[in-house]
Structure 1
Amino acid sequence: MIDDFPFYLSLIVAIVLLIMLANKIRVAYPVLLVIAGLLISFIPGIPLIKINPELIFIIFLPPLLYEAAWAISWKELWKWRRIIGSFAFVVVFFTAITVALVANHFIPGFSLALGFLLGGIVSPPDAVSASAILKFVKVPKRMASILEGESLLNDASSLIIFRFAMIAVATGQFVWHDAALSFSWMLIGGIGIGALVGWIFMKGQQFLPTDANMDTILTIVAPYVMYIAAEEVHSSGVLAVVSGALLLSNNRHQFLNTSSRLRGINVWESVAFVLNGLVFILIGLDLPEITSGLEGVSISAAIGYGLLITAVLVVVRLISAYAAVIITLIARNYITVADTRSPGFKIPAILGWTGMRGVVSLAAALSIPTHLCEGGPLFPQRNLVLFITFIVILTTLVVQGLTLPYLIKKIKMPSYNDYLPEDEAEEKIKHGMAKFTLDHMNANHKSILAKSRFLQQIHEKWKGKMNDDYEIQLTPEVREAYLDVLNQQRMWLIDQNHTHSEVDEDIIRKHLMNIDLEEERIRLIN
């Protein structure tokens, strides 16, 4: 391990350079990283990379899920909950069943249980790849929200399928009522445990004398505790991390101070950057291990099976995207839906083409044991499942990843007007916050305002009669009054986000960040 340390260090440098290149040529970085890893694996003398699936599941998956759930808008998640839920659960199950039937029919030696296992492995699209691609193209906010929401939940449903399929392959039997009870516990237990652990962390950080460093460390520890606690009682660790992170994210202003929020953002961006980069380059580097264990079937035949399963995944997702539209159009006659307008045929086409696979699929495939039981027979078709999974990941990342931006640009996206235009929303927030600030200062800090030049300048600024170039002269009393004004502005913005659905939460978060920066600046002034 020590001898290979320079190699791993050079991988980090290579990841940074490749992501810089990806940004320069406007290509999603997971595509470049997988290809680079694949090419590096053919260099003579390169250390053999053997990925421990527990390393990916335990070390990589919880923080990546936590970071994604922390960043997502709960308002958007709830607004599009039906289509997100259908893609994250119904479509994943439908995909797994279809893959099972096709594999059983076309791939020699594949039973239905083994096909279902393969379906559970390759059914969840990768969130990071889609997000990386959408950075370079403009898509309706609703599409980005649906993809982000789906990615938080589909890993859980696919791993549930995977767990049941493993039992069926190992035992040769599948008891439906036991599976239904286990499935229910995985869902309910995972969500409940995650929320409970999140609540404990929130209350602990709220009442204990922590500082920014401690709070940041606790946010890094939290997803691991959520995941491990849920897995220990055989519920869904993925759902535990997602539910716990959503709880903490939506209450961040209650238990994290300004310094903790600002420092945490910087730390988490760096952590997610490194972890995502390592995962995708390791996918490419793992090819020698995968191909070395491929026996009893030619490389060309195995590639053919991989391309067949990839085609099935693409077709099923496209069909599911259009089926979701049809079901929504029918359902709007009976229930309230997020949007009663028809999305046409463009949005489903793009949504159906965003099915790149990634880290969860590879980790699930690698976690298949070599033997059915200790000292027992070999696990059937394990190496072929691994190889097919690799072909699916590589093909979807390269083909769909490279063509998706072109497809989005060629298809003129409709304007749904889900939110106020950005300039109009900015003006609405600016005027509303100005009126609120002036009213609050006049009502609560009138006496201090009369004798503090600094607060008078702030007052004039919000009246629109002054720019931000004001002289800062703070007494303890004035500092306390201004910090109260900033905190009230923060609470006003949070309330506006909850009560005004026409305002994009990204704009609210930008103003909240500005308040945090201003508060931190004032606290640092002696």
Structure 2
Amino acid sequence: MHTVETVLLVLMLGALTGIAARYVRAIPLPLIQIAIGALIAWPQKGLHIAFDPELFMLLFIPPLLFADGWRIPKREFFALAKPILLLALVLVLFTVLGLGYLIHWMIPSMPLLVAFALAAVVSPTDAVAVSAITRNLGMPHKTMHMLEGESLLNDASGLVAVKFAVAAVLTGVFSWSNVAKDFMWMALGGLGVGAAMGWGFSYARDTITRRVGDVAATQMVLLLVLLPFASYIVGEKIGVSGILAAVAAGIATNFADLDRSNFISERLQTEGTWSMVESAFNGAIFLLLGLQLPSIMGTTILHSGHEWWALLGYVAAISFALLFVRWLWITVGVQRALRKAHQEGKMAEAPSKLLNLATTMAGIRGAVTLAAALSIPVALSDGTPFPERDLLIFLATGVILFTLVLGAISLPLILRCMPAHEDTETQQEERFARTAACKAAIVSLTMTEEDLQQHDEQWVAQYQEVVGRITQEYRNRIHLLDDTGIANSTEAQRDTPEMVHERRHRYVKEMELRLHCIQVERDTLYAERQAHRINDETLRGMVSELDMSEVSLRKRLAVSRKAAGIPAADAEH
């Protein structure tokens, strides 16, 4: 099959499996995608792809890590920096050393340096797979943020460790002092290159868009999508970590975005574009894993010299060893940092045996492990085959599948046994922020006597009438957000709980009617276009305005229904 047709097929299957996962909620999406890929590749005449590891690393990994760096909550990331670093850096070091020696002892035919390479390959975790498994199951939010931060950093540290291990195999030389020096250069250099490119892009974007506005929004979004590839390529060309460069570029760009509150069109396009890129690329990676699975299994079983049951035993032993080292480090090395974070209010949930177990089982391996395994070179510098490459890829693939299945079974059971919790801190922060925004808007409508005297009486009367309506709407929203009504308000002090409840239901009903009116407006506009009374350009512009209004209104309506105690299932009644 032609390469272009293969890419289109993989993207189509990624979209279709994403839709199917909405109906088959019991099976995580990555497992569905791996199974579909294996099914269409298994027969003799199935789909088989000649895999280019370097192209795979360039196309898939930079945008996914950039998106992780761009999206991850920075406040939680820095607040939980100590446990994240302990998991992402120290645990990776222990995993590479301990697991490397275990693999070499268990499989003597695999040289020690190759065993270290395999241990480095399976060291990165996959927070995307964890999120797919634990969605709506009650994984504590701060724990999930910690897992995302760990995944973001250990992707980079694991891949750098793979590069050093492979280099040692190729050259036959290994020096701890040289490794430490090279690691610092690659890590700090990669972070520096990525941060510089992220800030440089942001500065150029600000310079352009503050002159032309949102007119160039589409072009800026396209350049933003290309930024992780540019960061990765530049980093690799100058001999530093392109992976860390992509991560740093994402974090730097996110910080720069905090000063761009006025660029609505660009923001909406960026969110939509990155959601599509992440979904497509994650789906493609797991489908490609499925497509490679039959050939990996067949080649390894035929040529490795090991029985199939021994290979499965190696996979299970490596997977359990990974999880045991992870549990031991969380219990011994990270527990104190987690307890301190909880005492300082940075982490709502207190450390417990069940939470430690859930965090351990969340050590699922995924896309980056596959990319690292397939990036192992085929031959050494002298042309001889890379030692036990097929076995390494088989074991890494087996660990991905094993941890995925084990996590899909165990995590729901563990989370159901944990005490129910609610993210009250985030809800309170959101409520306070909304209240502050409403009060600021009310204050901004106030005009001084001097300002009013500059206009005639009719203008003043119209202005005060409009301000009165808008102010009342903001006050209704504040009443809805605050159980006691407007703070320090005499009227609010006389409100009974029944009056507050009635007001909330009335406000919800008002927003539902407004939403209904927006939908009627949109239907009418499409009818006008079908009757050829307006053109496509006019339709798109007017519908875009209604769409943005509806997005805002639906968000407010969801918050209002929650505050009024109206279940989501009863929303339309």
The bucket for the TM-score relative to the shorter chain is: 0.7 to 0.9
Aligned partner of 1:261 in structure 2 is 267
Once the two structures are superposed, the pairs formed by residues 91-490 of structure 1 within 5 Å of their partners are 91-208=91-208, 209=212, 211-255=216-260, 257-294=263-300, 295-300=303-308, 301-328=310-337, 338=346, 342-373=350-381, 375-409=382-416, 411-413=417-419, 415=421, 419-420=424-425, 422=427, 424-442=428-446, 447=452, 450=460, 451-452=462-463, 457-464=469-476
Counterpart of 1:169, as a letter, is V
Change (3 A) 1:296 1:429: closer
Identity of aligned residues (%): 30
Are the counterparts in 2 of residues 325 and 348 from structure 1 also a CA contact under 8 Å?
no
Question: Distance in 2 between the 1:23 and 1:340 partners?
Answer: 30
Shift of 1:336: 7.0
Superposed CA deviations along residues 250-278 of structure 1, whole A, max 9, x for unmatched, are: 22142471100011111111111111111
Shift of 1:177: 1.7
Are the counterparts in 1 of residues 17 and 33 from structure 2 also a CA contact under 8 Å?
yes
Question: Distance in 1 between the 2:361 and 2:321 partners?
Answer: 12
Question: Distance in 1 between the 2:50 and 2:289 partners?
Answer: 10
Aligned partner of 1:497 in structure 2 is none
Are the counterparts in 1 of residues 296 and 390 from structure 2 also a CA contact under 8 Å?
yes
Question: Distance in 2 between the 1:330 and 1:358 partners?
Answer: 29
Question: Distance in 2 between the 1:95 and 1:190 partners?
Answer: 23
Structure 1 stretch displaced more, 447-456 or 397-406: 447-456
Aligned partner of 1:31 in structure 2 is 31
Normalising by structure 2, report the TM-score: 0.75
Question: Distance in 1 between the 2:441 and 2:338 partners?
Answer: 44
Shift of 1:397: 1.4
Shift of 1:464: 3.1
Counterpart of 1:383, as a letter, is D
Superposed CA deviations along residues 3-29 of structure 1, whole A, max 9, x for unmatched, are: x65555444333333222322222320
Counterpart of 1:15, as a letter, is G
**SS of equivalent residue, structure 1 residue 286:** helix
Question: Distance in 2 between the 1:381 and 1:252 partners?
Answer: 46
Are the counterparts in 2 of residues 346 and 413 from structure 1 also a CA contact under 8 Å?
no
Are the counterparts in 1 of residues 339 and 351 from structure 2 also a CA contact under 8 Å?
no
Shift of 1:176: 1.8
Superposed CA deviations along residues 325-382 of structure 1, whole A, max 9, x for unmatched, are: 443378789x979459851211110000011111211111111112111x43221111
What are the ranges of 5 or more consecutive residues in structure 2 without an aligned counterpart?
478-506, 519-551, 560-573
Question: Distance in 2 between the 1:293 and 1:281 partners?
Answer: 19
Counterpart of 1:434, as a letter, is C
What are the ranges of 5 or more consecutive residues in structure 1 without an aligned counterpart?
473-506, 515-526
Counterpart of 2:394, as a letter, is F
Change (3 A) 1:72 1:326: closer
Are the counterparts in 2 of residues 329 and 340 from structure 1 also a CA contact under 8 Å?
no
Question: Distance in 2 between the 1:327 and 1:359 partners?
Answer: 31
Change (3 A) 1:227 1:11: closer
Counterpart of 1:368, as a letter, is I
**SS of equivalent residue, structure 1 residue 463:** helix
Once the two structures are superposed, the pairs formed by residues 512-523 of structure 1 within 5 Å of their partners are none
**Larger Rg computed on CA atoms:** 2
Are the counterparts in 1 of residues 191 and 244 from structure 2 also a CA contact under 8 Å?
yes
2:77 equivalent to 1:70: no
Question: Distance in 2 between the 1:412 and 1:116 partners?
Answer: 36
Shift of 1:324: 3.5
Superposed CA deviations along residues 135-161 of structure 1, whole A, max 9, x for unmatched, are: 231121111111111111111110111
Aligned partner of 2:496 in structure 1 is none
**SS of equivalent residue, structure 1 residue 372:** coil
Change (3 A) 1:435 1:396: same
Change (3 A) 1:325 1:167: closer
- For the aligned residue pairs, the C-alpha RMSD in angstroms reads 3.1
Question: Distance in 1 between the 2:142 and 2:278 partners?
Answer: 24
Are the counterparts in 2 of residues 325 and 343 from structure 1 also a CA contact under 8 Å?
no
Question: Distance in 1 between the 2:129 and 2:307 partners?
Answer: 27
Are the counterparts in 1 of residues 87 and 334 from structure 2 also a CA contact under 8 Å?
no
Aligned partner of 2:543 in structure 1 is none
Normalising by structure 1, report the TM-score: 0.82
Are the counterparts in 1 of residues 56 and 371 from structure 2 also a CA contact under 8 Å?
yes
Question: Distance in 2 between the 1:297 and 1:109 partners?
Answer: 10
Aligned partner of 1:521 in structure 2 is none
Shift of 1:388: 0.8
How many corresponding residue pairs? 471
Superposed CA deviations along residues 53-102 of structure 1, whole A, max 9, x for unmatched, are: 12221111111112222221101101111111111111111111111111
